[in-house]
């Protein structure tokens, strides 16, 4: 069954990506061609290409790989944009960076060379607490109840699960926190987040049309805000998660001047 599944996955991959080629066919059109039995060709106009998303799922990241997808308008709804916006299948990370740079016409090392601003330590505590509440506590309590009702074996399973799950949760929370970061560099806003899939977004600042500030009661107490950039392309909303509340407005203004200024309170001289 494993061999059959592997062959099936290989066949699907070949059908989707056989003959892959991405190139600027002229100064304003990026064309991606791929497919074995059915050839797919997507032409992305330069004026509609607002960014590139570099995806690194956990297992692929462990193998040094990544994929790339375009943040572009005119590709349909969210599901269609996900399929049509694919620029590169899972490949070595260096190749994914080269495709990202070629699509945006920026230096290849932009994503790795630009230092990202780290987020507050409260973001680490939030991820650790969330993991404990969602992954560790419910299963541990369930095993304790089973141990009290059925057999003491479940009591031993409870403490063993709690120890193992806590260690994994802490490691994943630290990795998720280490992945958090943002930077405004040149004409792009760089945003990175995630652990099961570490995503790095290079978004053209000129493509941002609005900002949304959101928080939860726990996030508010921790002084954290999620700043979401609205873009008329791709998923249409790209969050900068768990930014310090005191820095969120300054980041939004620096990344896309002209949107928030009229809503900000300004000191006025006393007449």
Q: Are residues 66 and 105 in the same domain?
A: yes
For residue range 132-191, list pLDDT tens digits in order.
999 999 999 999 999 999 889 999 999 999 999 999 999 999 999 999 999 999 899 999
The pLDDT value given to residue 270: 45
Inside any domain, residue 99: yes
The pLDDT value given to residue 156: 93
Average pLDDT over residues 121-126: 95
The pLDDT value given to residue 61: 94
What global pTM score does this model have? 0.88
Pairing assessment for the beta strands 86-92 and 181-185 based on DSSP bridges: unpaired
Retrieve residue 76's tokens. 């349909």
| N residues, the chain | 271
The values of phi and psi at residue 226, to 5°, are -100, 120
Name beta bridge partners: 67: 55
CB 49 within 8 A of CB 71: yes
Q: Are residues 14 and 92 in the same domain?
A: yes
Inside any domain, residue 167: yes
Residue 100 has pLDDT above 70, yes or no: yes
Inside any domain, residue 10: yes
Domain range for 98: 2-113
Q: Are residues 17 and 108 in the same domain?
A: yes
Q: Per-residue confidence at 229, pLDDT binned at 50, 70, 90? A: very high
| CA-wise closest residue to 197 among 177, 176, 181 | 176
Mean pLDDT, the chain, integer: 88
Q: Are residues 86 and 137 in the same domain?
A: no
Average pLDDT over residues 61-69: 94
List the 224-231 sheet strands across, edge first. 208-214, 224-231, 237-244
């Amino acid at each position: 069954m494993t061999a059959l599944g592997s062959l099936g996955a290989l066949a699907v991959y070949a059908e989707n990506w056989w003959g892959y080629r991405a190139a600027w066919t002229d100064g304003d059109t990026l064309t991606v061609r791929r497919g074995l039995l059915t050839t797919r060709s997507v032409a992305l106009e330069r004026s509609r290409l607002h960014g590139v998303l570099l995806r690194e799922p956990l297992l692929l990241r462990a193998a040094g790989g990544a994929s790339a997808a375009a943040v572009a308008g005119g590709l349909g709804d969210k599901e269609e944009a996900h399929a049509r916006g694919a620029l590169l299948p899972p490949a070595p990370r260096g190749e994914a960076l080269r495709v990202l740079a070629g699509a945006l016409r920026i230096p290849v090392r932009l994503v790795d060379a630009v230092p990202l601003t780290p987020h507050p330590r409260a973001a680490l505590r939030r991820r650790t607490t969330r993991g404990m509440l969602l992954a560790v506590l419910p299963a541990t309590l369930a095993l304790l109840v089973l141990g009290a009702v059925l057999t003491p074996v479940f009591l031993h399973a409870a403490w063993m699960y709690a120890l193992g799950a806590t260690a994994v949760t802490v490691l994943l929370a630290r990795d998720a926190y280490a992945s958090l970061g943002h930077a405004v560099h040149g004409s792009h806003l760089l945003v990175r987040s995630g652990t099961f899939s570490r995503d790095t977004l290079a978004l053209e600042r000129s493509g941002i049309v609005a900002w949304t500030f959101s928080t939860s009661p726990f996030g508010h107490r921790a002084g954290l805000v999620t700043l979401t950039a609205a873009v008329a392309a791709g998923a249409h909303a790209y969050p900068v998660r768990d930014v310090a509340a005191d820095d969120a407005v300054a980041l939004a203004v620096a990344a896309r001047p002209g949107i928030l200024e009229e809503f900000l309170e300004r000191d006025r001289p006393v007449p």
